[in-house]
Amino acid sequence: MEDNTSSTDYYQILQCERTASAEELKKSYQRLVLLFHPDKKDEKDSDKLFLLIQKAWSVLRDPNSRRQYDAELTCQEHSELLIYETISLDQMQYDAVEDIYMYTCRCGGTYLLDRSDTMPAKVIIGCDECSFSIEVNS
Nearer to Zn ion, 89 or 112 (CB): 112
Q: Are 67 and 120 in contact (CB under 8 A)?
A: yes
Nearer to Zn ion, 58 or 91 (CB): 91
Element (H, E) at 133: strand 132-137
Site track for Zn ion across 93-132, x = CB under 5 A: ------------x-x-x-----------------x-xx-x
Sheet order of strands, 93-95 included: 93-95, 100-104, 110-114
Contact flag: residue 9 with Zn ion (CB under 5 A): no
Contact flag: residue 71 with Zn ion (CB under 5 A): no
Nearer to Zn ion, 37 or 78 (CB): 78
Single-letter code of the amino acid located at 22: A
Backbone Cα Rg of the chain: 19
